Structure 1
Amino acid sequence: MIGYVDIKKAVIDQMNAKVKNISVLANEELSGFKPPAFFVQIIPVTDTPYLDYEEKLLTVNIHYFSAEKTDLANLKMLDQLNLTFFNLIRIGERTITLQHKRHQIIDNVLQFKFDLEFLNDVDVVQINGEWVLITRLDDSLGYTEDTVQLVQDIEIKEV
C-alpha cells in the first residue's frame, strides 16, 4: 500500500538523483531560506474506498525558487524537471504513470505539477458473510488471539 509519505519521499529521491546541488525545503523552512531551492507539496484530491481496494488521486506540486529569479533560469529548470519526471515514478515496489503534467510561473517561482492516480489493495476478510477490514492486534496493549473475542449475538430475556 502506497502512502502520502512514500510518495513525497519518492519524488524527493528522484529529484536528488537528477537535479544536483539544490536543497529541498520542509514546510517549516519556507521563510528565510537561501535559493536555489525546491519545495514539494502533495495535494490529495480524492480517496475513494471500495470493498478490497482504494482509488487515490493526488497532485504533486514542485515549487522552484531560483537564485537568479529570471525567466531563463525557470525555463532551464522546467526542462530539467520535465526530464526528471518524464513519464514514470518508482514508489517502493510499484511504478506509477504520471498524468497531466503542467507548469506555471508566478512571481518568478516555477510550479511544476503532475497528477498520480493509482489503486491500493486493502486487506479484507469475510466473517459471517460480511467483508471487514483486517485489523492487527496490538500486543503491547495486551491484545492477543486468546484475549480478544469477536462480537456475538446476545439474547436478552425480560424478567
Structure 2
Amino acid sequence: MNRSAIDLAAPARTSTDLSLVQWQRRMRQAIVSREKGQPLAARVHCRHALGIALELLEHPCAERIGDCMAALVVSHLNLADIHADRGDIEAALRRRCEAHGHLMRLAASGDAARQQAALQHSRHTHAALLEHVARHGAHPLVTRTLGAGVLALTGGHWTVH
C-alpha cells in the first residue's frame, strides 16, 4: 500500500465521502509538511487525519468500508514514519503495533464487512511489524501484538506445534 492519500475520484455524495475527502486533505498536508522537513506540522496533520479515520470507522458506509480501513492504516503508518524520522523508534513501533491491534480487534468483530476489510488491510500492518523486526531486531511488543492478533482471530484458542 502506498502510504499516501487514497485517490477519491468519485464526487462526494455521502457523509463518508465528505469525511474521506477531509481525511485525504489532511493526509496530503501531512505529506507535504514531512517533505518540507516540518515534522511537527506533519504530525499534527497526520493525527488529525487519524482522528477522522477513527470517526469514519464508528459508522462506516458499507460501500466504503475498505477506504475507511485504508485511511486508518495509512494514518497510523505515516505517524509511525514521522516518529522514525525523528529517531523515536519506540514511538514508531508503538504506532505500528497499535495499527495492527486495531485491525485485529475489528477483524474479530461480528460484522462481516469490517472483518473482511480489516483482514485485507492487516497485511500492511503485519508487514510493517516484520520490517521493524528486520531493521531493529525482535521486540516483546511485536511478539505480544502478533500473538494477540492470533488470539483475537481464533477466539482465544492458539496452539503452537
Normalising by structure 1, what TM-score? 0.31
More strand by share: 1
- Which has the greater radius of gyration? 1
More helix by share: 2
Normalising by structure 2, what TM-score? 0.30
